[in-house]
């Protein structure tokens, strides 16, 4: 019988989840490793060589590590539910003129649910992942996510949607470590190849990092339907033709294929008329945002205005703001202008290092 009980660890085959699994194993947990197969991207026009968390190499690396340390390892095929939910949403959001956040959706609706469902079948009390974040139970009975020690790797931003009941059974073993420390641990384990594995910043089902090609592959005759729309200025002046509104994102400057004598950015996308609005950097700035599909983490409600730092994208440093719930939405008033608020992206609210909650920008 293990010292701490049985725990199911999500293992991608990368250095983070591998070290997390070994760490828990050495702490006395009865570890069971699980690798989730989310996507087979050769079928979606990806490159011929599969890479990343769903590749056969990654699955084999995870299994080899588990075998080496003497704990069980399973593979869970969730391609069907992943595709039906995450990928369909990804396509639908771009067609609606928004910029989706698939990793948030996957964590919120697919990965945690799949892990806990399998954890129940395997009689595991807890699940663990290799995210750089922390979770704790506070006095008000709520589980709170806080930033990981490594500011460069903190992944709390993509975890805002995880529910309280799921957080209650979640552990993040890497939260108090930096990425260099984790790589060193892998070396100390004798896992030289693992320690040297490169980072993956791509969306797992768009491994060529070309979402436009992915959309063309998924949506029949997309280019034929959307090519030739107007680039316009804020006053409605037509300044050129574009390749189709789904192929542009808010804040985009490069690849517009238009020269107006000074830098221009995408400031608005209007799918109903296949129009892409261009403007200056100043026209891209906003001082207020509205957020929907809220999930609050630290407090059950925020019905009185409170000060928070709001991040509007993963690598955003965050901006001081005042937030307050207005019905089903959160109103965010920024202390100073922020640039590139993109509908569909996540807005995530922090109080110090603690995650207050988040939602999708409107």
Residue 266: which of 319, 230, 292 has the closest Cα?
230
Question: 271 with 291, same domain?
Answer: no
17 is in an annotated binding site: yes
The total domain count for the chain is 3
Is 202 inside a domain boundary?
A: no
Q: Would you state the pLDDT for residue 131?
A: 97
Q: Would you state the pLDDT for residue 209?
A: 85
* Domain CATH number, residue 83: 3.40.50.620
Is 15 inside a domain boundary?
A: yes
Residues spanned by the domain of 256:
225-279
Give catalytic residues, as residue numbers: 106, 204
15 is in an annotated binding site: yes
Q: Which secondary structure element, helix H or strand E, spans residue 216, and what is its range?
A: helix 211-218
Question: 187 with 50, same domain?
Answer: yes
Spatial neighbors of 146 by CB under 8 A, at least 6 apart, are 133, 134, 135, 136, 156, 175, 353, 354, 355
Question: 256 with 309, same domain?
Answer: no
Q: Would you state the pLDDT for residue 233?
A: 98
16 is in an annotated binding site: yes
Q: Would you state the pLDDT for residue 203?
A: 85
Q: Would you state the pLDDT for residue 48?
A: 45
pLDDT by residue, tens only, the chain of 362 residues:
567 899 999 999 999 999 999 999 999 999 999 999 988 756 555 554 455 566 788 899 999 999 999 999 999 999 988 988 999 999 999 999 999 999 999 998 899 999 999 999 999 999 999 999 999 999 999 999 999 999 999 999 999 999 999 999 999 999 999 999 999 999 999 999 999 988 776 788 886 789 999 999 999 999 999 999 999 999 999 999 999 999 999 999 999 999 999 999 999 999 999 999 999 999 999 999 999 999 999 999 999 999 999 999 999 999 999 999 999 999 999 999 999 999 999 999 999 999 999 999 99
Torsion of CA 261, 266, 269, 274, to 10 degrees: 40
Question: 269 with 315, same domain?
Answer: no
Whether 7 contacts 125, CB under 8 Å: yes
10 is in an annotated binding site: yes
């Amino acid at each position: 019988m293990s010292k701490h009980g049985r725990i199911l660890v999500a293992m991608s085959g990368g250095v983070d989840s591998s070290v997390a699994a070994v760490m828990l194993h050495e702490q006395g947990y009865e570890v069971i490793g699980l690798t989730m197969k989310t996507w087979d991207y050769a079928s979606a026009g990806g490159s011929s060589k599969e890479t990343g968390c769903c590749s056969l190499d990654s699955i084999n690396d995870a299994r080899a590590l588990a075998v080496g340390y003497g704990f069980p390892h399973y593979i869970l095929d969730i391609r069907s539910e992943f595709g039906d939910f995450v990928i369909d949403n990804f396509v639908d959001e771009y067609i609606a003129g928004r910029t989706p956040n698939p990793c948030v959706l996957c964590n919120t609706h697919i990965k945690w649910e799949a892990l806990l469902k399998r954890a129940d079948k395997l009689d595991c009390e807890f699940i663990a992942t290799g995210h750089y974040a922390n979770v704790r139970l506070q006095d008000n009975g709520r589980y709170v996510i806080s930033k990981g020690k490594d500011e460069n790797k903190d992944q709390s931003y993509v975890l805002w949607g995880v529910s309280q009941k799921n957080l209650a059974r979640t552990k993040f073993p890497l939260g108090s470590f930096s990425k260099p420390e984790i790589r060193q641990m892998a070396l100390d384990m004798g896992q030289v190849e693992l320690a040297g594995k490169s980072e993956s910043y791509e969306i797992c089902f768009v491994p060529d990092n070309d979402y436009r090609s992915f959309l063309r592959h998924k949506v029949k005759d997309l280019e034929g339907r959307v090519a030739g729309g107007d680039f316009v200025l804020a006053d409605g002046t037509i300044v050129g033709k574009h390749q189709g509104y789904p192929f542009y994102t808010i804040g985009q400057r490069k690849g517009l294929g238009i020269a107006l004598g000074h830098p221009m950015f995408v400031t608005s996308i209007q799918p109903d008329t296949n129009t892409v609005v261009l403007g200056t950097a100043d026209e891209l700035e906003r001082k207020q945002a509205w957020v929907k599909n809220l999930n609050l983490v630290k407090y059950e409600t925020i019905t009185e205005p409170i000060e928070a730092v709001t991040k509007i994208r993963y690598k955003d440093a965050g901006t001081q703001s005042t937030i307050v719930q207005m019905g089903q939405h959160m109103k965010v008033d920024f202390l100073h202008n922020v640039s590139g608020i993109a509908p569909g992206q996540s807005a995530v609210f922090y109080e110090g290092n603690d995650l207050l909650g988040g939602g999708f920008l409107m």
